[in-house]
Structure formats: structure tokens, C-alpha cells
Amino acid sequence: MKSSSSKLFVIFVMLFLLLAACSEGGSSSSDGEKDNSTKGNDDGKTDNQVLEVAVFQGRYGDAYWKALAEKFEAENPGTTVNITANPDIGEMIRPKIIAGTPPDLVYLNQTDPSGVTQGLIKEEGFLELTELFEDEALDEAVPLKDKILPGILESAYMSPYGDGKIYMAPYNYKVMGLWYNKTLFDAEGIETPKTWDDFFALNDVAKAHDRALFTYQGTVPGYLEEILIPAVSSLGGEEAMNQMLNYDPEF
């Protein structure tokens, strides 16, 4: 539950930031072709504002994003949120980025095979979000940064240049783990390992049952980073994390 609420919270705040930024005279691309003009009202709201949101669509589909867009539009009359969701969203938005007309908000993993996120990091193509996280949270009178798990915003994932400034927002919190065949364990009386030493000690047991102790999936193997990253952080701390993410040969 915390994963979903945290994601919703951060994205809502980012959308409000985008709306406010665009309201200060419209948004324009580097080549001057994009101009989402707005009309101000006495109550501070804007009319005819369009936000383009590009979303990586996984197995859960896009219903969540559509519901989020509808809720945001209801709370901000005159604003339209266009959601483009696709498993290959990185490749889809690449031409727009090259043309200087990128989406306003992108939901995409740093390690997406398209390389879009890494390319934008290299080109320093992100809007700085430090001020956003210094501002007050939506549901509590504390800075937004205080609602984020300690160390997240300071990591190379959110602050890639080591300058103390935030350029990317975390999009969820979750707990990852290893899956095992409980039916086999119960049937053969195999005790579930509680430490890594216990785990590796089961190698011969796995072989005896014609199984591999650990497998590396061929489909979307990138998900294993959810195990690799915490392991590196646990053993080497932030220094090791930065070395890994920056391809330091000393890692």
C-alpha cells in the first residue's frame, strides 16, 4: 500500500509543478515550436492547459495512470492530461526528444533498454527538481523530501551529478525478494534458508532434484537489479553504488 500511495503522491506533486511552470507563460521547446498557451483566471487556475505524460506500461496496464489523470483534471478545471502508455515508450518518445518537443513528464526506468534516461542524464536534459522537494507536501505541513525514505534523493539515481541537486523523482517504494518452489520444499522436507550460507548449502540438494539453486531469467532480466542494487548498497554503501552506476573500473 505504501508503494502505491508514495508513487501517487510524488507524481501528483510533479504534475502540480508542471502546471505551475507552464502557467508562467507557457512551455517552449529548444527550437521554439512547442507553445502550450494558457489563460489565467482570477482564482489562479489556468484554462486550456495540456500536459503530455509518457508512461512505461508494464503488466499492470495503464488503468492506474488514466485514473490519476482523471483525478488531476477534476481538481484542475481547464487542464487536460494526455497519457501515452506503452511497453516501448522509450523508443516512442526518442524522436520527440530529438525534435525538441519532449513530453512534460516521463515515467521510465533509468535502465530502460531504449537508453533514453541515460542519454538525458548525459546531456543534462532534465529540469532540476530540488525546489519541488523543499516545498511543503500536499497532505502534511512538512517538506516533501521528508516524505521520502532517507538516502533516496541523495543517491546517484535522483542526483546523478553529485552536486546536491535533484533531477529525478522516485516513483515507488517496494520490497523485492527471491521466489522459491514452496511445494517442492514442503514435499521433500527442505528447510527454507534464513542466511546466504544456508542458501548456498542447498546447492547439492537442488542438484539432487535436477534443479538449479538460482536462475537468471531470459525475459526482462533487468528486474534482477532489484536484488543487485540493495546487495551492493549493503556491502559497499553509497561509494560502491556510485562506482557501479558510473562504471568505475575500480568497482
Q: Tell me the per-residue pLDDT of 96-126, one tens digit each, with 9 for 90 and over.
A: 999 989 999 999 888 788 989 888 898 888 8
The arithmetic mean of pLDDT across residues 140-166, rounded, is 89
Of 3-17, 121-135, 169-183, 200-214, the one with minimum mean pLDDT is 3-17
Per-residue model confidence (pLDDT) at position 139 = 81
Per-residue model confidence (pLDDT) at position 42 = 54
The domain limits of the chain are 2-147, 182-245
Per-residue model confidence (pLDDT) at position 50 = 92
- b/e map of 101-113 (b: 16 or more CB within 10 Å)? bbbbbbbbbbebe
Per-residue model confidence (pLDDT) at position 45 = 55
Helix intervals (H) in the chain:
2-23, 63-75, 89-99, 116-122, 130-134, 182-188, 196-201, 203-208, 225-245
The arithmetic mean of pLDDT across residues 232-247, rounded, is 85
State if pTM tops 0.85: no
Mean pLDDT of the chain: 80
Higher-pLDDT residue of 37, 2: 37
| pLDDT cut 90: percent of the chain above it | 38
Per-residue model confidence (pLDDT) at position 138 = 81
The arithmetic mean of pLDDT across residues 83-99, rounded, is 93
pLDDT at 40 over 80: no
CATH number of 2-147: 3.40.190
Per-residue model confidence (pLDDT) at position 208 = 93
Per-residue model confidence (pLDDT) at position 18 = 46
Question: How far is it, in rounded angstroms, from Cα 110 to Cα 114?
Answer: 10
- Helix, strand, coil percentages for the chain (3-state, nearest 5): 40, 10, 50
Total number of residues shown for the chain:
251
Per-residue confidence band for 35, with pLDDT thresholds at 50, 70 and 90: very low
